[in-house]
């Protein structure tokens, strides 16, 4: 195994307890024993979503739940408003298009957040909008959308409120019930800190009403089938789930519960704040508008005088820390530090030490330790 510290916006470092849970014997997925584990896991999932409604697990990455969330609630030919301020906002729009749904893009400059007012105006301008999709934490730009405030607007409209919390649930505040989210979905490998390959989704009563009306074109991701199996006693999944990943999710969610959801969110905010300070201490510039900078990933402009491959290659190859690059037109122009899951000051010290040493090595900065010093101050 590589001794590489993953500071990515997923996958994140998986706790040994979670890895051990995955080595348990695989059981029949149509048995009382598995039903018990599934019941417990989906209940823990609903606690993290903060909803009284049921949650369902889907074997697949976060994108599977994105597709399930849209394709089942908006019919082909109906219209969805997609907030697009980065790669994942774009993905929701592409998924809608692939399912024959008419899309209307609310384009937001990458690095900034949508305002509730923009959504209100878009809804007022077009009565045919059946749903609005928002990425809570736009992982490609390191920006958080104000989903609580948007929720207050959405309560005045019939349109469904669909929120992707793949890179925020378990790391930033998501209160599905209070925010009035109709469809909320996430993935296993980000703040939940389980291995990749599992997704989760929860729907409000209004969203289920839409599901019952919509003739969707999905088979594997058909929420009617997923609900039918999930509501059996004991519950099941329509097709064979990744049994081992359900064990992993179960253990990872127990770890979240032991830490306390609010404590975990506070820990992520602290790491984000410390990272932003350390970025500045190194003389680097944030990519995202600081006021809306993410609790789970910090996007930084690549400094002049060093290429992405030199920078991230050295940070990884020489110092053992894996950072993420930019996507699409941001490729080469930014790098991203994922501080999600089980991370604390230790990982940040190592990360900012590696960044400082690399930048000094290339003659970009004089003080290699400025980032580390900043992290120590933040955690004193
Ligand atoms: C990672 C991510 C996804 C899903 O990606 P998968 O690779 O399918 O797990 C979706 N939305 C956001 C905001 C993400 O960060």
Q: Residue 74: CB within 6 Å of ligand 1?
A: no
Nearest to 145 by CA among 298, 293, 8, 329: 293
- In ligand 1, the atom with minimum distance to the C-alpha of 135 is 13
- For the chain, helix, strand, coil in percent to 5 are 45, 15, 40
Strand partners, 160: 131
State how far the Cα of 356 lies from the Cα of 370, in Å rounded to an integer.
7
CA of 166 from ligand 1 middle (Å) equals: 6
Q: Residue 180: CB within 6 Å of ligand 1?
A: no
CA of 326 from ligand 1 middle (Å) equals: 14
pLDDT value of residue 2: 66
pLDDT value of residue 245: 98
Topology, domain 5-9+260-378: 3.90.1150
Over the stretch 193-224, which tens digit does the pLDDT of each residue have? 999 999 999 999 999 999 999 998 899 999 99
Strand partners, 201: 56, 185
What kind and span of H or E run contains 134? strand 129-135
pLDDT value of residue 290: 97
From first CA to last CA, the distance across the chain in angstroms is 33
pLDDT value of residue 3: 86
CATH architecture of structural domain 16-259 = 3-Layer(aba) Sandwich (3.40)
> What does the chain come to in residues?
380
Q: Residue 166: CB within 6 Å of ligand 1?
A: yes
CA of 176 from ligand 1 middle (Å) equals: 19
State how far the Cα of 137 lies from the Cα of 220, in Å rounded to an integer.
26
- In ligand 1, the atom with minimum distance to the C-alpha of 139 is 15
CB atoms within 10 A of CB 201: 25
pTM for this prediction: 0.97
CB atoms within 10 A of CB 49: 25
Q: Return the domain boundaries, the chain.
A: 5-9+260-378, 16-259
pLDDT value of residue 138: 98
Q: Residue 164: CB within 6 Å of ligand 1?
A: yes
Tokens of 48: 């993290």
User: What is the overall mean pLDDT for the chain?
Assistant: 97
Q: Residue 251: CB within 6 Å of ligand 1?
A: no
pLDDT value of residue 217: 85
DSSP annotation string for 33-85: HHHHHHHHHHHHHHHHHT-SS-EEEEES-HHHHHHHHHHTTS-TT-EEEEEES
Contact of 166 with 144, CB cutoff 8 Å: no
**Mean pLDDT per 10-residue run, the chain (380 residues)?**
87 97 96 97 98 98 98 98 98 98 98 98 98 98 98 98 98 98 98 98 98 94 98 96 98 98 98 98 97 98 97 98 96 97 96 98 98 98
pLDDT value of residue 250: 98
């Amino acid at each position: 195994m590589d001794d590489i510290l993953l500071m990515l916006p997923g996958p994140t470092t998986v706790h040994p307890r979670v890895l051990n849970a995955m080595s348990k014997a695989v059981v029949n997925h149509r048995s009382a024993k598995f039903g018990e584990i599934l019941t417990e896991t989906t209940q823990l999932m609903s606690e993290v979503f903060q909803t009284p409604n049921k949650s369902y697990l889907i074997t697949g990455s976060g994108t599977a739940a994105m597709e399930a969330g849209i394709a089942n609630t908006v019919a082909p030919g109906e219209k969805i408003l997609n907030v697009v301020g980065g790669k994942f906002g774009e993905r929701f729009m592409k998924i809608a298009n692939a399912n024959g749904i008419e899309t209307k893009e609310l384009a937001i400059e990458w690095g900034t957040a949508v305002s509730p007012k923009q959504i209100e105006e878009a809804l007022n301008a077009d009565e045919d909008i059946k749903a609005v999709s928002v990425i809570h934490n736009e992982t490609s730009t390191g920006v958080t959308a104000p989903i609580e405030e948007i929720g207050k607007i959405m309560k005045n409209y019939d349109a469904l409120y669909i929120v992707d919390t793949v890179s925020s649930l378990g790391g930033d505040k998501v209160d599905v019930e209070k925010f009035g989210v109709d469809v909320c979905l996430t993935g296993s490998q980000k703040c939940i800190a389980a291995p990749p390959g599992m997704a989760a989704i929860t729907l409000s009563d209004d969203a289920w009403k839409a599901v019952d009306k919509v003739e969707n074109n999905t088979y594997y991701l058909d929420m009617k089938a997923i609900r039918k199996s999930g509501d059996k006693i004991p519950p099941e999944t329509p097709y064979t789930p990744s049994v081992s990943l359900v064990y992993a999710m179960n253990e990872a969610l127990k770890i979240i519960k032991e830490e306390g959801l609010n404590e975990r969110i506070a820990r992520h905010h602290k790491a984000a704040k410390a990272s932003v300070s350390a970025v500045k201490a190194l003389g680097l510039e944030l990519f995202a508008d600081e006021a809306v900078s993410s609790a789970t990933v910090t996007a930084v402009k690549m400094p002049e005088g060093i290429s992405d491959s030199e920078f991230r290659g050295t940070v990884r190859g020489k110092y053992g820390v894996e950072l993420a690059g930019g996507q699409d037109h941001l490729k080469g122009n930014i790098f991203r530090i994922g501080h999600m899951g089980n991370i604390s000051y230790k990982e940040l010290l190592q990360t900012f030490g590696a960044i400082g040493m690399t930048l000094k090595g290339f003659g970009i900065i004089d003080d290699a330790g400025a980032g580390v010093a900043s992290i120590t101050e933040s955690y004193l």
